[in-house]
A and B are shown apart, each in its own frame.
Chain A
């Protein structure tokens, strides 16, 4: 097993390269992914290394990109397409919901779509409007799609390799603000999809997070530790499939939980987590599960985003609210 120090963007690039090397049916396309290497440079060097047939720029048409990927996946290829930003995937929404997600079902499993839709998502980078949406709930709500989101460079590599190898379509959500985080990455293809992971052990309460909110939860646990409270942190890694087992075991072990997510809280993935865990762990809970999410407003501009995003203070406030004493 090889280890390398990589940023998340480099780890994703490495995953694409390794998959393309191993499997000639893997093709990459999208807007500016060719010579430019993508606006976040995730596809850097792929056209030079594998040629124009394997990594190419498309016309500016997201519905077309995903629709063509459907056809290529129907005919023996494994397309990995890039949507340039979260909010620019919406023109492709019809293709994703009506075709990508349903093809297997409406053909009794005869036509499958091994394709990956990569989407840089979420905020925290001072982006202007349409560049910071947390769109996971739209996809997670659509039966037929896998939805995964890495929080570390290592997971980014492993999750992307596994997503490309998957027989089913995967919406692969890349937290933009973590593209430049760096760590030692083991280039393995161990199975991660559908498996949450305990990122930090703790005994008093459990923080449940995914993607961009994992570092926030870890930072909160660090501060809480100094204040004498031991917080456990669970990273979902995969929203669909959802790892009930790991999440519930973690919550049962502490009896208290807070969900941390950037997306607006109403009708969200965080609502789903609270519902599932409450249904399964009711008798182990000492307090209602709290959620710390973005407000129910359109994503605000750079100078306000720190007020909107779940931060350490808000997470710790929620933890304080977990009915530690009878009042």
Chain B
């Protein structure tokens, strides 16, 4: 251990590689992602936006119980998935449906919980995506555990652990960072700082110069990145993943972004922020920026749009399908072997149903 914390310090300003005008930012000294990587990211961004807007509409149509949209934050969602290998793990929050889809989870499955079901919908082992976590920051220690176990088993796995700005105030965030550092667990903690925790602005959450500083006390290096610049995210997250994989221990990345819509459909954002504030973020939109930069032939972009439309149609169809309820299943997965009480209760419910059926 050295007394020098300098190497842990984040840069004063977030890393940006592509400016708002679409031109590369000079003098960053960072690796610029290849055109192929950026094209892949653009296709994913367009699909991500389409999914966010489709899910938003499905709430209004009563097909989804609730949807915390990542509209505006798609660059973080896309990059977090794109920098991982197949053997890596992703630990999403409720807002990170699109990142889960980026790992290969079917969007219909990805929205199972938010549709109002009791299970997450996908098999976490299939794509190595943990179930969404709603209790804030509780997924972070799990990511550390998965990464530590992988190291013990000699696997090259890295865990990407997602968290919001508000979530960094929870005890679990701090305990996870400390464990990861002490265990040298290969975890990349990505904080999507979208400036609000429901109505509470960042200034009420922390007095630190930036959230990237939160790692320093634990011995974890922090980086700040423009969360609406997918090129910068691919580079910064990609390098963080590589360092974690190489045995350099956990990494912390703070992405500066903005939630363009209300917290969820149940929230009224006009009570705590102005439309001028929201509008100011429009010009930083991650998709427009990358489109300007790549300047692809119109036909390429419309192909990407059509692909996104197909994914959205698949989501719409999946959620519009009425699935007949299966109440007996409520008792099936509580234990490996249901207790006799659960069997009794299951029978009681079936009996009530049968009687109702007979009466009706």
Q: Mark B267-292, 1 if CB is under 8 A from A, else 0.
A: 00001100000000000000000000
Q: Is the CB of A300 within 8 A of B118?
A: yes
Q: Mark B184-196, 1 if CB is under 8 A from A, else 0.
A: 0000000000000
Specify which of B171, B199, B345 is in contact with A91 (CB 8 Å cutoff). Answer: B171
A87, A266, A297, A300: residue with the most chain B Cβ atoms closer than 10 Å: A297
Q: Is the CB of A128 within 8 A of B113?
A: yes
User: In the complex, what residues of B have CB within 8 A of residue A58's CB?
Assistant: 204
Q: Is the CB of A295 within 8 A of B135?
A: no
> Considering only CB atoms, which chain B residue lies closest to A313 in the complex?
B352
Q: Mark B55-76, 1 if CB is under 8 A from A, else 0.
A: 0000000000110000000000
Q: Is the CB of B331 within 8 A of A302?
A: no
Q: Is the CB of B118 within 8 A of A126?
A: no
Q: Is the CB of B325 within 8 A of A304?
A: yes
Specify which of A296, A300, A301, A304 is in contact with B341 (CB 8 Å cutoff). Answer: A296
User: In the complex, what residues of B have CB within 8 A of residue A124's CB?
Assistant: none
Q: Is the CB of A307 within 8 A of B349?
A: yes
On whether A91 and B170 interact (CB within 8 A), knowing A39-B198, A308-B330, the answer reads: yes
Q: What CA separation (Å) do A308 and B172 show in the bound complex?
A: 32
Q: What CA separation (Å) do A37 and B205 show in the bound complex?
A: 17
CB distance from A121 to the nearest CB of B (A): 15
Q: Is the CB of B169 within 8 A of A61?
A: yes
B118, B167, B327, B352: residue with the most chain A Cβ atoms closer than 10 Å: B118
Q: Is the CB of B118 within 8 A of A129?
A: yes
Which of A28-36, A110-118, A235-243 contacts the other chain?
A28-36
> Within 8 Å of chain A (Cβ to Cβ): is B200?
yes
User: In the complex, what residues of A have CB within 8 A of residue B116's CB?
Assistant: 126, 128, 301-303
Q: Mark A281-306, 1 if CB is under 8 A from B, else 0.
A: 00000000000000111101111100
> Within 8 Å of chain A (Cβ to Cβ): is B197?
yes
Q: Is the CB of B167 within 8 A of A87?
A: no
Q: Is the CB of A60 within 8 A of B334?
A: no
> Within 8 Å of chain A (Cβ to Cβ): is B342?
yes
On whether A298 and B118 interact (CB within 8 A), knowing A60-B205, A304-B327, the answer reads: yes
Q: Is the CB of B118 within 8 A of A60?
A: no
Q: Is the CB of B199 within 8 A of A300?
A: no
User: In the complex, what residues of B have CB within 8 A of residue A37's CB?
Assistant: 271
Q: What CA separation (Å) do A91 and B345 show in the bound complex?
A: 31
User: In the complex, what residues of A have CB within 8 A of residue B65's CB?
Assistant: 126, 128, 301-302
Q: What CA separation (Å) do A130 and B341 show in the bound complex?
A: 24
> Within 8 Å of chain A (Cβ to Cβ): is B40?
no
Q: Is the CB of A301 within 8 A of B167?
A: no
Q: Is the CB of A297 within 8 A of B331?
A: yes
User: In the complex, what residues of A have CB within 8 A of residue B114's CB?
Assistant: 128
Q: Is the CB of B197 within 8 A of A60?
A: yes
Q: What CA separation (Å) do A173 and B44 show in the bound complex?
A: 45
User: In the complex, what residues of A have CB within 8 A of residue B345's CB?
Assistant: 295-297
> Within 8 Å of chain B (Cβ to Cβ): is A59?
yes
Specify which of A34, A60, A266, A313 is in contact with B169 (CB 8 Å cutoff). Answer: A60
Q: Is the CB of B198 within 8 A of A32?
A: yes
On whether A296 and B342 interact (CB within 8 A), knowing A61-B169, A128-B65, A129-B113, the answer reads: yes
On whether A130 and B135 interact (CB within 8 A), knowing A32-B199, A63-B171, the answer reads: yes
CB distance from A263 to the nearest CB of B (A): 14
> Within 8 Å of chain B (Cβ to Cβ): is A314?
yes
Q: What CA separation (Å) do A35 and B201 show in the bound complex?
A: 11
- Chain A interface main SS type: loop
Near B by CB (< 8 A), chain A positions 254-291 give: 266
Q: Is the CB of B170 within 8 A of A300?
A: no
> Within 8 Å of chain B (Cβ to Cβ): is A57?
yes
Q: Mark B27-66, 1 if CB is under 8 A from A, else 0.
A: 0000000000000000000000000000000000000011
User: In the complex, what residues of B have CB within 8 A of residue A307's CB?
Assistant: 327, 330, 349
Q: Is the CB of B204 within 8 A of A57?
A: yes
Q: Is the CB of A60 within 8 A of B66?
A: no
> Within 8 Å of chain B (Cβ to Cβ): is A64?
yes
Q: Is the CB of B271 within 8 A of A60?
A: no
> Within 8 Å of chain B (Cβ to Cβ): is A50?
no
User: In the complex, what residues of A have CB within 8 A of residue B197's CB?
Assistant: 31, 60
Near B by CB (< 8 A), chain A positions 72-94 give: 87-88, 90-91
A58, A63, A128: residue with the most chain B Cβ atoms closer than 10 Å: A128
Q: What CA separation (Å) do A129 and B170 show in the bound complex?
A: 20
> Within 8 Å of chain A (Cβ to Cβ): is B134?
yes
Q: Is the CB of B334 within 8 A of A296?
A: yes
> Within 8 Å of chain A (Cβ to Cβ): is B166?
yes
Q: What CA separation (Å) do A130 and B345 show in the bound complex?
A: 22
> Considering only CB atoms, which chain A residue lies closest to B168 in the complex?
A60
Q: Is the CB of A64 within 8 A of B169?
A: yes
On whether A59 and B206 interact (CB within 8 A), knowing A64-B169, A128-B113, A304-B325, the answer reads: yes
Q: What CA separation (Å) do A35 and B113 show in the bound complex?
A: 30
Q: Is the CB of B199 within 8 A of A35?
A: yes
> Considering only CB atoms, which chain B residue lies closest to A94 in the complex?
B171
User: In the complex, what residues of B have CB within 8 A of residue A301's CB?
Assistant: 65, 116-118
User: In the complex, what residues of B have CB within 8 A of residue A63's CB?
Assistant: 171
User: In the complex, what residues of A have CB within 8 A of residue B200's CB?
Assistant: 31-32, 34, 57, 60
User: In the complex, what residues of B have CB within 8 A of residue A31's CB?
Assistant: 197-198, 200
CB distance from B199 to the nearest CB of A (A): 4
CB distance from B69 to the nearest CB of A (A): 15
CB distance from A321 to the nearest CB of B (A): 12
User: What are 16 A-B contacts with C-beta separation under 8 Å?
Assistant: A35-B199, A37-B271, A57-B199, A57-B204, A59-B166, A129-B113, A295-B349, A296-B342, A297-B330, A297-B342, A302-B116, A303-B117, A304-B118, A307-B327, A308-B330, A317-B352
8 smallest CB-CB distances across A and B, nearest first, come from: A59-B169, A36-B199, A302-B116, A60-B166, A60-B169, A301-B116, A61-B169, A295-B345
Interface residues, chain A, CB within 8 Å of chain B? Answer: 31-32, 34-37, 39, 57-64, 87-88, 90-91, 126, 128-130, 266, 295-298, 300-304, 307-308, 313-314, 317
Interface residues, chain B, CB within 8 Å of chain A? Answer: 65-66, 113-114, 116-118, 134-136, 166-167, 169-172, 197-200, 204-206, 266, 271-272, 325, 327, 330-331, 334, 339, 341-342, 345, 349, 352
